[in-house]
A and B are shown apart, each in its own frame.
Chain A
Amino acid sequence: MTLDAKIPGGPLTEKWDRHQFELKLVNPANKKKFDIIVVGTGLAGASAAATMAELGYNVKNFCIQDTPRRAHSIAAQGGINAAKNYANDGDSVWRLFYDTIKGGDFRSREANVYRLAQLSTQIIDHCVAQGIPFARDYGGLLDNRSFGGAQVSRTFYAKGQTGQQLLLGAYSALMRQVAKGKVEMFPRREMLDLVIVDGKARGILVRNLITGKLETYAAHAVVLATGGYGNAYFLSTNAMSCNVTAAYRAYKKGAYFANPCFTQIHPTCIPVHGTYQSKLTLMSESLRNDGRVWVSRQPGDKRPPNQIPESERDYYLERKYPSFGNLVPRDVASRNAKEQCDQGKGVGETGLAVYLDFADAIKRDGKDVIEARYGNLFQMYEKITGENPYETPMQIYPAVHYTMGGLWVDYNLMSTIDGLFVLGEANFSDHGANRLGASALMQGLADGYFIIPYTIGGYLAGTELPEVKTDHDAFAKSKTDVTAQAEKLLSINGHRTVDEIHRELGMILWDYCGMSRDMESLEKALKMIRELRARFWKEVNVPGSSEDLNQSLEKAGRVADFLEFGELMVLDALNREESCGCHFNLACQTEDHEALRDDENYCHVNAWEFKGKEQAPALHTEPLMFENVELSQRSYK
């Protein structure tokens, strides 16, 4: 199968308009004849479900939490980008497009990214109409700030809780449609299989997490908006229930998985401080607007920060990247923090941290101004660490945050399975090898509010879809397979907990497929993951039964998938013999230790096809064409 991205012809700036015109329309009266399943209720899922219901489709919306308002998009802090140029500092759709392409290290599609930049302005308009309380200036107009990797102020924000406010906006649009009867909501359900009939996605199988019962649902199309797989690393900034299962099981049914090795490490997280730790907390990157990153010049300097004189401090980002300073993109900031710590200059008890210091900003703007900007973040930091960042510099360290890889989709956001659409972090598109700050919210909402409602119509109007009900054999087959796996997990009765094994997998991925990789360590990881997977199926202990709320069983199923998927991540990293964005192969770097791309051989998307259990997956590639932006070495000096 050749990968056809179905990018419309014509000039870049006109592609989306042209495509919207060319897409077939579903007659308004016929929309009610179509059932659509949406899995996930984050920014992408909730906005998609609400918008498709507004158009007249019947939507069934599933989420893993007790209510759709909990999706992990809620935790995003810093903001959402939009090319409004309200700040009059030279922003434009073209600049947002350009920054995103360059920030992604030229590993994303021009057409998708341009469309994203175009739609960004509409997102803000819609969200304001919904009543999102964005920050405003004293004239009553919207306020903006600059954000990691951008030299213009294009980020709209609601204190440090932008994700929450945007998600509640999408959630309330969703609730409105539930009240109207156009969306049927299914909380506490976990998708465990995708059901395919005659080569098309026609339904899903879920576990009702309260009763343990397996339930099946049929539809004319399935939309996955199930987020990212950062929890493969065990410790990450992702919510505890983020997992790869829905996407991975779709992969096993024929959806190609693209660029699985692209994991973004976020530079500003609260450092790890104990073996029991369950997750990492991100501090918004907006802090880098005013905070200065530094370490002591002297390795092994254990003095408290206030005893280290100015002349003995190294503000290494400002020194190395004078034009971007503390605002360099995430991959650059993360790698540099690691480099400092590797040289023994790390601070804090573990030596795996650097300072983020607000002393100068407080001196310059006053404590009140800093408090207005970041008050809740400072509070959160103090709550977790017991230290007051107004007085002592924060300690930060990089942590796994966002996954740019995901199921491969074409320009319509359709995967390699007909009728299976993938949105938001669950797909691979738009961010390339590195995601700029404040772009995740933008992509989730663009996909959900403004892309899928159009493209799904084109699919439904142009495809023959005979009636399929849940009594079809394909549903029964799914049920048998999923039941067998649950029974197997419950019957092992080994001596190790799911979390123990998950933690072990996380360490392997972090050490050998984390901020930097090399061929030798990746080969080693491959072997270790295979061994760990074999041990999991012999040694795990899952108490309880399958006919009940059983959180151990839920976790076991997810970790079983991570143990297979982790191998795919490593395989993908092994295959890409270059460095780009967040994929930093130690063998491929410039003299200045920056990522060294190989455009001749790797200017493409890797898309992996499942070939069977314990079989090597097949690799397909989609070449990336750059007609509007010249491929250049990324430099932030």
Chain B
Amino acid sequence: MSASTINLTLKVWRQNRTDKKGRFETYPANNISTDMSFLEMLDVVNEELTQKNIEPIAFDHDCREGICGMCGAVVNGRPHGQEAETTLCQLHMRHFSDGDTIVIEPWRARAFKQVKDLVVDRSALDRIIQAGGYISVNAGGAPDANTTPIPKDAADAAFNAAACIGCGACVAACPNASAMLFIGAKVSHLALLPQGRPEAARRVRAMVRKMDELGFGNCSNETECEVECPKGISIREIARLNREFMKAELKSA
């Protein structure tokens, strides 16, 4: 934890509203401690902008612990920056060098509407979950939790898929702006568990249809999503999604 300070130049996407034209603005970020997170660096820049009566850069963030999935921007062309398995809030300035210029842009995808500066609307991901990303069970009346043993391997695999934080980096990274990793993660999580099986076929078909309808692209095996996923979710989940989808389509044919 030994900190030093660096000076940076930021090129930040500024856009007042959805329907207004955006532009890059250049701001200095001086005396940035290398212990800071990327968002703390933006806080410092925003404090200075506020002092100059310039409206601070709008960006989404909340937990700052890498788990809520709310933060996100493309940093030097990479969603959440260059570090592997990292959200923007967990990207630390020790990974940058004195004198660097950093380009910061919002997620860009047809299904994610631009809101302001680095803020985009990712509610399309909620609509995909609404299409079937759940197990239909009401509260009350569930049998004792240990009545259905689940092999540890299956539970662990389900957990790994369920670790998705819904940040949308996979969509932002994909040249097709596909949400297949996101859907694959949810379909896998639920299809791997016995509780999720009864609805598996209906679920996968509905979620894939919804994805198409919302304007997300398809997977063409670029694997960028896997590279950028802050939770290390593997494209194996997309393979499982494809398999589940084929099974479901064949069953219904």
Contacts and interface: CB of A to CB of B under 8 A. Distances in A.
Interface stretch (A6-14, A322-330, A543-551): A543-551
A557 to B, nearest CB: 16
A176 B62 contact: no
A497 B195 CA distance: 51
A50 interface: yes
Interface string A172-185: 11011011000001
A543 B67 contact: no
Interface string B44-62: 1001001101111010111
Contacts of B92: 383-384, 386
A126 B140 contact: yes
A276 B43 contact: yes
Nearest to A237: B65
Contacts of B193: 131, 133
B65 A281 contact: yes
Contacts of A240: 61-64
Given A67-B122, A176-B130, A453-B139, A552 B50 contact: yes
Contact of A450 (B33, B86, B139, B148): B139
A472 interface: no
A135 to B, nearest CB: 7
Interface of A: 47, 50-51, 54, 65-72, 74-75, 84, 86, 122, 124-131, 133-142, 158-159, 161, 163-165, 168, 171-173, 175-176, 178-179, 185, 187, 210, 237, 239-241, 273-274, 276-279, 281-282, 348-349, 380, 383-387, 395, 449-450, 453, 495, 497, 499-500, 541, 543-544, 548-552
A161 B63 CA distance: 13
B108 interface: no
A176 B115 contact: no
A70 B115 contact: no
A395 B2 CA distance: 14
Contacts of B136: 176
Contacts of A124: 145
B215 interface: no
A158 B156 CA distance: 9
Contact of A541 (B3, B39, B53, B86): B53
Contacts of A142: 145-146
A394 B70 CA distance: 28
B22 to A, nearest CB: 14
21 contacts: A54-B138, A65-B68, A66-B121, A67-B123, A72-B63, A122-B140, A128-B148, A134-B145, A140-B149, A142-B145, A163-B67, A185-B126, A239-B62, A274-B36, A277-B36, A277-B40, A278-B40, A380-B65, A541-B53, A548-B116, A551-B56
B35 A449 contact: no
Contact of B190 (A131, A134, A495): A131
B158 A173 contact: no
A70 B149 contact: no
A71 B165 CA distance: 12
Interface in B6-52: 16-17, 33, 35-37, 39-40, 43-44, 47, 50-51
A278 B63 CA distance: 11
A372 B92 CA distance: 25
A163 B68 CA distance: 10
Nearest to A185: B126
B131 interface: yes
Contacts of A135: 155, 159
Question: Majority SS of interface residues in chain B?
Answer: loop
A355 to B, nearest CB: 14
A173 B151 CA distance: 25
A81 to B, nearest CB: 14
Contact of A500 (B17, B33, B47, B122): B47
A187 B123 contact: yes
Given A140-B150, A499-B43, A543-B53, A161 B163 contact: yes
A384 B90 contact: yes
B115 A69 contact: no
Nearest to B132: A179
Contacts of A349: 1-2
Contacts of A127: 145
Contacts of B140: 122, 126, 449-450
Contacts of B56: 543, 551-552
A549 B115 contact: yes
A274 B44 CA distance: 12
B1 A385 contact: yes
B39 A175 contact: no
Contacts of A168: 162
Contacts of A122: 140, 142
Contacts of B126: 67-69, 175, 178, 185
A481 B166 CA distance: 37
A185 to B, nearest CB: 8
Contacts of A67: 122-123, 125-126, 166
Contacts of A278: 37, 39-40, 43, 64
Contact of B142 (A75, A126, A281, A543): A126
A130 B137 contact: yes
A239 B89 CA distance: 12
Nearest to A163: B67
A70 B137 CA distance: 22
Contacts of B119: 549
Q: Which of B53, B68, B123 has the most CB of A within 10 A?
A: B68
Given A129-B142, A178-B126, A278-B64, 10 more contacts: A54-B139, A69-B126, A126-B140, A126-B142, A131-B190, A131-B195, A136-B152, A138-B152, A239-B65, A282-B65
A70 B142 contact: no
